[in-house]
Structure 1
Amino acid sequence: MPTRARCSLHRSRAEAGLAPTASGRSLCAERGSQRPPAGQVLRPGPRVAPASAWRWAEVMNYSHFITAVSAARKASPIRLLTELMQKSPPSVISLAGGAPNPNTFPFKMATITTGDGTAVNIGEDLMKRALQYSASAGIPELLSWLKDLQKSLHNPPTANYSPDQGQMEMCVTTGSQEGLSKVFEMLINPGDNILLDSPTYPGTLAALRPLGCNIINVPSDQYGIIPKALKEILSRWSPEDVRKHNNIPKFLYTIPNGGNPTGTSLTTDRKKEIYQLARQYNFLVIEDDPYYFLQFDKPWAPTFLSMDVDGRVIRTDSFSKILSSGLRIGFLTGPKPLIDRVILHIQVSTMHTSTFTQLMIAQLLQQWGEKGFLEHVDRVVAFYRDQRDAMLAAADKWLKGLADWHAPAAGMFLWIKIKGVSDTQQLITEKALQKEVLLVPGGAFNIDSSVPSSYVRASFSLSSPAQMDQKNSIFSSNFLC
């Protein structure tokens, strides 16, 4: 790289607002008494003990994590102008913006009725706003509601930190997949090491592979990532490597509840151990949790976000499984210096999530309140719990002795290991499909999809109990006997 360009990129890191962040024992002790009380519905997560004696440092320096390209991104003046106009009084006359005149839009008003009879009314004035450009981080009323929800459910230690100390920040994304993609773009250089537990969500692998990173598989079992195995992998790096940030893994990615495809959920004790290792080896934790609201038993599991005294957790949430998958509403929570970077990536791609979708969801959530929202979640969970039980009953009836599985504690999937079959690819794509039984071969979820897998993923979200029984019967009698 030419000297001038190299200096420019180095300078841009300092200009990006990525100042070192206080964290660890001293900050935890200093801020502990200022944290807000836990919500009334779910218990806050446990705080973690101090990391080991040779932990990398008592600061978070986010510039170690972001790429030079991400550090070089600057806020769009036009995007900032859009946000300024939205905060301005109606008396302001703007000759600056390039927004189209809303009087030319064909849509004038709408009323949306929910299953419980709640009516979401979008009148003419609100419709004009709904059809217009909006802030890249999300519309203010939705962001405010979501921040209150995160504080109530997770009680993040960072919620009361100052912005330069890794204060909790949020942004709305076009589904959690967009959020993940932007986070990966922000963090990964070719050749970087990252950690994840495979098998995992193919969308994650599809986003990671083109970035040229080294994906290190962390062994897992029915309770998620095995901390002992993670510690063994990390032992490749010495304290000196960590201090110099010498190619240590940048982050660990995991789906902690109802993992796709395995249905596994990380235990609280394992999360604590993993977070301690993250502190010791100075890597971030990407907590991809689209099935958080589909946990079948209460109290819901404490999250990495609830344990994050350092500001090293980036959490993705989604309304796809509980409100609508087509509305494409996800949200990111994490330390402000990193979330602000993500927003800059959004500014130059999608610009913002659909304003109409955000306003519709915000109107509904404001009418429901947190209590009404969680009551809706409980109804959704009850449905999927019954679906899971029907799938387990069908599997027990038709697959016992032919396959192995574990009952998922969350999510939509049953991960089935077929006995006596080394690879399910041909079994599913050719034979089973001819009998109109569609399952996903396990190899699709491997880091290397060409590696044989004896597993299949069965979803219990759409089929009726009778259909589950019928398809398990066909699968058993035609292919496994």
Structure 2
Amino acid sequence: MSEPTATHVDAESNSVQVLPASFYPSRLSHASHRRREDGIRALLPLESRPGLISLLVGKPNSETFPITSMQFNIRDTASPNGEATMQLTEEELNDGLQYTFTNGLPALREWLFGLQERLHGRRKGEGWTITIGAGSQDMIFKGVNALINPGDAVLIEAPVYAGTLTIFHTLDAEMIEVETDGHGVCSHSMREILENWPPSKPKPKLFYTVPYGSNPTGSTATLERRLEVLALSREHDFFILEDDPYYNLYFGPANRPPSYFELERDLPEVGRVLRFDSLSKIMSSGLRVGFASGPEAILRVMDLHSQAVNLQASSFSQMIALKVLSAWGYDGFTAHTARVAQFYREKRDVFEAAMQRHLAGLAEWTSPEAGMFFWFKLLGMEGDSEYIIRTTALERGVLALPGAAFYPNPRKTAYVRASFSLLPEDQVNEALRRLREVIVEVRKANKRG
């Protein structure tokens, strides 16, 4: 059977070759094909038709809502007192307290379309869309479920964000580890895996990656490796799930590589990258606002999933986010994220200075270029950090995460993940002093044994 031919899309004179809708059905999961649209929500957009009197939805009457006004302050460096006051209008408050569309508040989606054009050069009308969820984890769960059947093979960089592993475990996916190093995913390793894949076995359907400030390693994939992964996705027909919560927490070299989402636009065909963004790290984790950008056929299935599970992400959280983002504008957003990145750069530097003081010679690490984590290897620990971190270190009053939690398949590892996002300098110093004592004591005991 011949592959569907990419269709030409002219987004205001910018030429893009987009994979057609017929490309996707055979690549969606069985569950995706069984999803059906909510009959009520299917008609919800019609309520905005001028002159229409709607008897459709059982929306609660706003006159019964106990919240009648909303005012809050945001940090504002241009203001004399460092703050600016936000006031939701009556219309904004009513929209925020009411049901909205499954894919999100229309005004917020429009703002995010503009953001993706500014950050990644992807313009509306180029065969992709946006849907908003209850954090990017919600979006990732639905994206994976849109594509994967139980037992399917998937490529996953290792080590990798532990929260995503539970999704693949639940689907009983066969997780094929692709090694990483200080420069991100080892694309040559991925090529070797795929070129030696058993001919009788279906190839992996997707590759999951955290390309900037990878959780847990802090590494950022180089441009060369990203381009090779994109080439492999076309050669071997798999989707790239780009989980990028630390994109705006980048504090590495100025010539940072573009996202997969941006790089894809220059390929002969567009439509294999599904991108996940989050406001958690740059605005508020408690708002639970994340969004996915990618092929309309996949996001449509994700929206059907939402209709069956939670109807939509919180309208109220979306409205608060929209109010702040609209007040900032794109220039203000860029300035804010630059300040956030600088904040975490300083946190990283404080933490690394303490590591040099206390762990030099006892551990080795690569300085992270983004995010909020150090990934370091304990030396002389016989290849396993599990016991020393979960038991001995905890007893001494310091808590970190053993590296084994970040591998798709069980193993021993001498690596440890430590977060530098919260602690003040004195607590960082004390935590690493305690950890040093534990490591020295265990190493002595090992030598005696």
What TM-score do the two structures reach when normalised by structure 1? 0.84
Find the counterpart in structure 1 of residue 412 from structure 2. 452
Q: CA separation of 1:453/1:60 partners in 2, compared to 1, >3 Å: closer, same or farther?
A: farther
In the alignment, is the contact (CA less than 8 A) between 1:252 and 1:284 conserved in 2? yes
Q: 89, 110, 128: which one pairs with 1:123? A: 89
In the alignment, is the contact (CA less than 8 A) between 1:171 and 1:333 conserved in 2? yes
In the alignment, is the contact (CA less than 8 A) between 1:399 and 1:472 conserved in 2? yes
Q: CA separation of 1:321/1:58 partners in 2, compared to 1, >3 Å: closer, same or farther?
A: closer
Q: In structure 2, how many angstroms separate the alpha carbons of the residues matched to 1:366 and 1:299?
A: 28
- AA aligned to 1:289 is D
Q: CA separation of 1:363/1:300 partners in 2, compared to 1, >3 Å: closer, same or farther?
A: farther
User: 1:183-209 CA deviation, whole Å, 9 max, x = no partner?
Assistant: 111111112110011111111000110
Q: In structure 1, how many angstroms separate the alpha carbons of the residues matched to 2:285 and 2:320?
A: 14
Offset of residue 271 of structure 1: 0.1
Find the counterpart in structure 2 of residue 270 from structure 1. 225
Does 1:304 find its partner at 2:260? yes
Find the counterpart in structure 2 of residue 53 from structure 1. none
Aligned residue runs from structure 1 range 399-414, under 5 A: 399-414=359-374
Q: In structure 1, how many angstroms separate the alpha carbons of the residues matched to 2:183 and 2:158?
A: 13
In the alignment, is the contact (CA less than 8 A) between 2:375 and 2:417 conserved in 1? yes
Q: CA separation of 1:59/1:281 partners in 2, compared to 1, >3 Å: closer, same or farther?
A: farther
Offset of residue 227 of structure 1: 1.4
Find the counterpart in structure 1 of residue 235 from structure 2. 280
Find the counterpart in structure 1 of residue 128 from structure 2. 168
Does 1:35 find its partner at 2:19? no
Aligned residue runs from structure 1 range 45-124, under 5 A: 61-85=23-47, 87-89=48-50, 92-116=52-76, 117-124=83-90
Q: 197, 201, 216: which one pairs with 1:261? A: 216
- AA aligned to 1:148 is G
Find the counterpart in structure 2 of residue 477 from structure 1. 437
In the alignment, is the contact (CA less than 8 A) between 1:82 and 1:133 conserved in 2? no
Aligned residue runs from structure 1 range 112-151, under 5 A: 112-116=72-76, 117-151=83-117
Offset of residue 148 of structure 1: 0.6
Q: In structure 1, how many angstroms separate the alpha carbons of the residues matched to 2:241 and 2:318?
A: 24
In the alignment, is the contact (CA less than 8 A) between 1:313 and 1:334 conserved in 2? yes
Offset of residue 426 of structure 1: 1.6
Find the counterpart in structure 2 of residue 16 from structure 1. none
Q: CA separation of 1:324/1:58 partners in 2, compared to 1, >3 Å: closer, same or farther?
A: closer
3-state secondary structure, aligned to 1:118:
strand
Q: In structure 1, how many angstroms separate the alpha carbons of the residues matched to 2:21 and 2:303?
A: 24
Does 1:464 find its partner at 2:424? yes
In the alignment, is the contact (CA less than 8 A) between 2:4 and 2:20 conserved in 1? no
Offset of residue 20 of structure 1: 4.2
Stretches of structure 2 lacking an aligned partner (at least 5 in a row):
77-82, 442-449
Q: How many residues end up aligned between the 2 structures?
A: 426
Find the counterpart in structure 1 of residue 120 from structure 2. 154
Find the counterpart in structure 1 of residue 342 from structure 2. 382
Offset of residue 64 of structure 1: 2.5
Find the counterpart in structure 1 of residue 279 from structure 2. 319
Q: In structure 2, how many angstroms separate the alpha carbons of the residues matched to 1:205 and 1:251?
A: 14
- AA aligned to 1:302 is P
Offset of residue 478 of structure 1: 3.1
Offset of residue 94 of structure 1: 2.5
Stretches of structure 1 lacking an aligned partner (at least 5 in a row):
1-18, 37-46, 49-56, 162-166
Q: In structure 2, how many angstroms separate the alpha carbons of the residues matched to 1:213 and 1:406?
A: 31
Q: In structure 2, how many angstroms separate the alpha carbons of the residues matched to 1:273 and 1:120?
A: 46
3-state secondary structure, aligned to 1:119:
strand
User: 1:352-396 CA deviation, whole Å, 9 max, x = no partner?
Assistant: 110011111111111110000111111111110000011111111
Offset of residue 447 of structure 1: 1.2
3-state secondary structure, aligned to 2:220:
coil
3-state secondary structure, aligned to 2:140:
helix
In the alignment, is the contact (CA less than 8 A) between 1:35 and 1:155 conserved in 2? no
User: 1:91-139 CA deviation, whole Å, 9 max, x = no partner?
Assistant: 6432221111111111111001102123221133322221111000011
Offset of residue 399 of structure 1: 0.6
Does 1:231 find its partner at 2:191? yes
Cα RMSD after superposing both structures: 2.3
Q: In structure 1, how many angstroms separate the alpha carbons of the residues matched to 2:20 and 2:92?
A: 47
3-state secondary structure, aligned to 1:219:
strand
Find the counterpart in structure 2 of residue 4 from structure 1. none
What TM-score do the two structures reach when normalised by structure 2? 0.90
Does 1:343 find its partner at 2:328? no
User: 1:305-345 CA deviation, whole Å, 9 max, x = no partner?
Assistant: 01213210000000100000000010100011111111111
Q: In structure 2, how many angstroms separate the alpha carbons of the residues matched to 1:88 and 1:356?
A: 24
Offset of residue 60 of structure 1: 7.1
Q: 7, 15, 22: which one pairs with 2:6? A: 22
User: 1:218-255 CA deviation, whole Å, 9 max, x = no partner?
Assistant: 111111111111111001348x87xxxx6111011000
Q: In structure 1, how many angstroms separate the alpha carbons of the residues matched to 2:10 and 2:99?
A: 38
Q: CA separation of 1:115/1:228 partners in 2, compared to 1, >3 Å: closer, same or farther?
A: same
Q: 182, 188, 194: which one pairs with 2:154? A: 194
Offset of residue 300 of structure 1: 3.9
3-state secondary structure, aligned to 2:158:
coil
- AA aligned to 2:102 is S
Offset of residue 74 of structure 1: 2.4
